[in-house]
Every structure is written in C-alpha cells, then in structure tokens.
Structure 1
C-alpha cells in the first residue's frame, strides 16, 4: 500500500443518510483537535496496543528522515484508552488528508467510561503500508524521535504532547512512557 491513502479511505465507508459518526483517537487526535465535533468522551477499545511503529514522512519527519508516530497493533487482552468524538461525516474530508500517510479507516466498538458501547471509526496504519517502520528498542525509537522534524514541527513535541494527554486521561501507557523517559 502506498503512503497516500486518501482515496482508499473515501471509498471504505459510505455516509449516505448518516448525520454523525463516532471517531476514536489514540494519538495526535487526542490533543490536536483541528476539526469540529458534536461531542467528545473518553473511551477505550479492546485488543489493540498503541505503538510508535509508524513512520511520519509528512508531519513529524520528511521522506529522507521520517519521524515516528503511533499506530495500533492487535494484541489480545489489551485495552487502548483514547478520546471519542462524535463528528459530522464531512469532517472526514479533512481527516482523510491529515491521516493520509498509510492510515486506513476501520470500524471498532468503543467502550465509554459509563460502560456504554458504540461503534466508531479509527485510523490504523497496518503493517502492509509503505510508511510502516515496525518495532525497535525504546531507546532507538526515542533517538529517532529526538532528531526528527517535519512540517508539523519536531517529532519530540508529538511524543510529549501525547504523553501529557494520556496522563490527563488517566492512562499509564507503558510503551509511550518508556520512550518519553528515554527522550528526557
């Protein structure tokens, strides 16, 4: 799969007759909310782990020196905490471009803090996309993040903003916190 997934995403779900859709954010969508929303609520999804395994050639790095951003990796028994936004379907015109570097939209059940469950969409960069970097030792990931920068700014800001946003949600994501400790 190529880097640019805009057209693939626009053909994945049809929104005819739908006035709002839930969207689950687990990375920059938690702290960089540059889109209108109707409602937002903390939520979790089951069976997915947040990992800094996706390359960023368009926001937090360059094609020659990609940064690292998070994606989700299937892992049974794990819960990923994030923020759910109820949005108008036209918001995906913007988000599909923002999340174009290898991310595809998938449907997932989300559990809200009150125990209620709703289906929502989530952007996941799967292992078969051209920007996928895969696992590496936390210290190596931190070094790559420390030296990477792109049009959206230093990669370190992405990591630090995400770590702070997760703390605000009461989430102690060990992967993110370990990389943050190496960066500091």
Structure 2
C-alpha cells in the first residue's frame, strides 16, 4: 500500500490513549458497520501463549457504529512502520482502508480489523467470559485489566460512552477485589 500525503488511522482502543506515533491532528470519528469488542486473544501485549489476554478489535457488525478518534500522523512513513510493527505482530488483524464519518466530512483512514479466520479471533465469548480473562491476564505491555481501564478512561475523556466497556470495568474490579471471609 502506498501512503498519501496524509495518513489517518482510526483509534478505537489503545490508539486513543497511546497512539505511539507523532500526531498532527485528531478528530472525533465514527465507523459504520463495525463494533469495538474484546474479540482478539492477546498472546504478546496483554497476555501470553500460556494465559492469553483479550484486546479490542474492530469486528464487522451490520448496522453497527463504532465511535473513536481519527488520528492524522505527523510523519506518515514513520507512523505506518510503527503501526504495522505494533498492530500486525501476529497477523490477527487485517489492515484496511475505511471511510470514517466526522463532523468535518469523510476521512479516508487505516483501520485494524480482526481476521475472523485467524486462531486469535475470540468469536463467541460472553461479557462475563471476557471479564474473567481480562481480570487475570498479563502480557509484555502489562496487565490486561490496565488496558481495559485506560481504554475506558480515554473514551470517556472524549465523551464516548461504551456500555460494554463500563460493564466489563465494573465486573473486572469485582473479580480482582480481595475476598472477605473464608
């Protein structure tokens, strides 16, 4: 893929609070027909092969709407290399060109979308199943519950609500709380 003079990427998870690239501009944005979901097993960043964690991915969902952040890279070439190293570490994502809706018009952007044929796709986990994984997994970039909390905080700071993330945060806190009595 060749880069245009402007490189925009869609941040819907950790890119919201930790873009890892030099940022020239951000805009609130929405992506239609996808949803943000903890549906990718993390065996590197937030879990291990022995105890996988879960990270967010864009999952195709007819009629869905995922709110996030359009991020314009200050240095497109360096940003693309960094994003590919970070997001394509295990090939569980497809790098896709998508059209984001923003208040200032459509934006052609990159998005990292789960590959439903990949072994790291966690297709049918309930929210409670997700919470049990997130509460305990730890990977190379830290505890899985930290990833959840930082993402929820980053989205809230932008005024983006996500009821599933709010529920998961409460449930994970409950699972991690010390047990009283015996």
Task: Flag whether TM exceeds 0.5 (same fold).
Answer: yes
Structure 1: gaps (5+ residues): 1-12
Following TM superposition, the consecutive aligned residue runs of length 4 or more in structure 1 with deviations greater than 2 angstroms are none
Give the C-alpha shift of residue 180 in structure 1. Answer: 1.4
Output the CA distance in 2 between the equivalents of 1:175 and 1:135.
Answer: 15
- Give 1:91's aligned residue: 79
- Give 2:97's aligned residue: 107
Matched residues, number: 169
Q: What is the SS of the residue equivalent to 1:141?
A: helix
- Give 1:31's aligned residue: 17
Preserved contact between residue 138 and residue 182 of structure 1 (Cα < 8 Å)? no
Normalising by structure 2, we get a TM-score of: 0.88
Give the C-alpha shift of residue 139 in structure 1. Answer: 1.5
- 2:61 aligned to which of 55, 64, 75: 75
Preserved contact between residue 21 and residue 79 of structure 2 (Cα < 8 Å)? yes
What are the within-5 Å matches in structure 2 for residues 1-184 of structure 1? 13-15=1-3, 18-87=4-73, 88-100=76-88, 101=90, 102-112=92-102, 114-184=103-173
Output the CA distance in 1 between the equivalents of 2:106 and 2:123.
Answer: 31
Output the CA distance in 2 between the equivalents of 1:115 and 1:35.
Answer: 23
Output the CA distance in 2 between the equivalents of 1:86 and 1:183.
Answer: 33
Q: What is the SS of the residue equivalent to 1:40?
A: strand
- Farther-moved stretch of structure 1 (168-177 vs 137-146): 168-177
Give the C-alpha shift of residue 22 in structure 1. Answer: 1.0
